[in-house]
Structure 1
Amino acid sequence: MTVAPSAKGWVEFGQFRTWYRVTGPLDTERPALVAVHGGPGSTHDYLLNLSVLADAGWPVVHYDQLGNGGSTHLPDRGADFWTPELFLAELNNLLARLDIAKNYVLFGQSWGGMLVARHAANQPEGLRGLVIANSPASYPLWRQEMEVLRARLPSGVDATLRRHEAAGTTDSREYYEAMRVFYDRHVCRIVPWPKDYLASFMETSNDPTVYSVMNGPSEFHVVGSLKDWSVVDCLPDIDVPTLVISGRHDEATPAAVRPFHDHIPDVRWEIFEDSSHVPNLEEPERFHAVLVEFLKSLDGR
């Protein structure tokens, strides 16, 4: 279920534009929940059902990060341009432009979870709470766990993937079909894929600039500029209540997620037993209940 937006538009970000969508009034006492999508290089679409939180009393802000969706596309920019610092600056700019920097909660999914953790470690005054969903705490841990998951794929699948990765033919149909075996196990276990998830997947495919430069050709073959990036060092500096979410079948395995639980001072970890990487789509009712419970716990902060 998705609630209709109350506003949509763009905010200026230097010489670029960031597209945003607001559901519910931003001038309430409760903090706005800002949804920071994954990728990097995906879009807001697969997180659209977060908009129902507006009916429960929390305004929701979605946006497309620079390079994808409704925001400015820059297909000629390379790794020196696409950095975590760029996206942190974009998030800060969005908060200021929408005038919510004094009262907000961040929901970061996958890569977005690492981004919001780094943001929160700066202890911004207006941040009331943090949700880190289906995110690794470091890409070295992520890559290590990808090897474990790849080894458990059906016979011949990983060999096919590695053959194409070595040959540089990851854009082939055979690679895509083998890749889907992994994705259907560890990214989204709903078949066929829900339309919101498919929309984000297609947007990434239509302009893979950010994803290919920073990540690589697939979730499990991370060879881009983020391959050694980590937020583990800054986690003890996060000083707001934090909810960590992951799925039992998640590509973000417990080993990759655990540093959030071990190093953030005020943290709770919720595992969704019937989900992989998108429990908001795979277990929407329980997901909504868990999120509302957490948000209610922040009232009065």
Structure 2
Amino acid sequence: MLSAMPVDIRTVPFRDYETWVQITTPESPTPEALPLFVLHGGPGMAHDYVRNIAELADETGRVVVHYDQIGCGRSTHLPDAPREFWEPGLFVDEFHAVRRALGVDRYHLLGQSWGGMLGAEIAVRKPEGLVSLSICNSPASMGLWVAAANELRDLLPRETQDALTRHEAAGTVSDPEYLAATMEFYRRHVCRVEPMPADFVDSEKQMEAEPTVYHSMNGPNEFHVIGTLGEWTIIERLPQIVAPTLVVAGEFDEATPATWQPFVEQIPDVSSHVFPGASHCTHLEQPSEFRVVVAAFLAAHDR
């Protein structure tokens, strides 16, 4: 449960659309604590499942900014936009539109899953004012992501694997049997809290109601990637990131060590942390522990 911190909700113009933004302000600000922007995953998952990160406002004395990326949540939906419209550069531009509208020049950036991929896309462009980057539960390429997902899929019960393969071949990925098999993967490697936290369910329901972004960029689920991100990689560009970077993941994360190791190997100023017992939604499974690690990193780079 979030504490009663002051929250300002507004919309920001972006191209011909509007981006929904939430600004959480600490009751006792720390003068040197710079704002933190939180980038949600999906793509198209909306901010709800990462909203507990707003607790960092009171815990660190800094402003925390969430927003729903274009195409999902409370921002403008574009169900008729062509598939090629949905590419990383769109979301890089949107981030800077939000940042400029809020008048923020120096800031920290934290991205979860796709949000971490987007954070890296922002950081390789060396924007002036980026003080630190936190990449949480994210792959450095979709090729590595798919390979890891297939390895984890091979560890599922045989009947679960057979259901996935059968329905993918038939194109019946909305069949209840296929969805149940997908949920078994999610319970192991996406969020190990049962029942699923309400924040996660809220984001998932929004994405299911309007799946344009997720289906266009990713595909029907986490391991059947057939969208515009299918060939995405940032590995060769990682040495261009000059901001200090924190990489975190869970022990049972669908983002396995092979997927995020390039961040550690290629970013010049980087540290990493793996949370034992957690999976992809570490911030929901171990919220206090997650925020302690992130808060320490942010504080170390505020000055």
Q: Taking structure 2 as the reference length, what is the TM-score of the superposition? A: 0.96
Q: Letter of the aligned partner of 2:108 in structure 1?
A: V
- Report 1:72-151 matches (<5 A): 72-100=76-104, 102-151=105-154
Q: Letter of the aligned partner of 1:77 in structure 2?
A: A
- CA contact 1:35–1:61 (8 Å) conserved in 2: yes
Q: Letter of the aligned partner of 2:134 in structure 1?
A: V
Q: Letter of the aligned partner of 2:47 in structure 1?
A: H
Q: How much does 1:154 deviate?
A: 1.0
> Any gaps of 5 or more consecutive residues in structure 2?
none
Q: How much does 1:29 deviate?
A: 3.9
Q: Letter of the aligned partner of 1:239 in structure 2?
A: V
Q: Letter of the aligned partner of 2:299 in structure 1?
A: K
SS of alignment partner, residue 70 of structure 1: coil
**In structure 1, C-alpha distance between the alignment counterparts of 2:157 and 2:194, rounded to whole Å:** 18
Structure 1 match to 2:238: 235
Structure 2 match to 1:297: 300
Structure 2 match to 1:217: 220
Q: CA RMSD in A?
A: 1.3
Q: Taking structure 1 as the reference length, what is the TM-score of the superposition? A: 0.97
- CA contact 1:5–1:21 (8 Å) conserved in 2: no
- CA contact 2:153–2:161 (8 Å) conserved in 1: yes
Structure 2 match to 1:2: 2
Which consecutive segments of 4 or more residues in structure 1 shift more than 6 A?
none
Q: How many residues align?
A: 299
- Report 1:175-190 matches (<5 A): 175-190=178-193
- CA contact 1:66–1:73 (8 Å) conserved in 2: yes
- Provide Cα deviations, 1:228-274, integer angstroms capped at 9, x if missing partner: 10111111011111110100000000000100000001101100011
**In structure 1, C-alpha distance between the alignment counterparts of 2:68 and 2:30, rounded to whole Å:** 22
**In structure 2, C-alpha distance between the alignment counterparts of 1:233 and 1:79, rounded to whole Å:** 25
Q: How much does 1:155 deviate?
A: 1.6
**In structure 2, C-alpha distance between the alignment counterparts of 1:246 and 1:44, rounded to whole Å:** 19
CA 1:43 to 1:5, structure 2 compared with 1: closer, same or farther past 3 Å? farther
Structure 2 match to 1:59: 63
Q: Letter of the aligned partner of 1:64 in structure 2?
A: D
Q: Letter of the aligned partner of 2:196 in structure 1?
A: W
SS of alignment partner, residue 38 of structure 2: strand
Q: Letter of the aligned partner of 2:102 in structure 1?
A: L
- CA contact 1:188–1:277 (8 Å) conserved in 2: yes
Q: How much does 1:6 deviate?
A: 2.1
Structure 2 match to 1:168: 171
Q: How much does 1:292 deviate?
A: 1.1
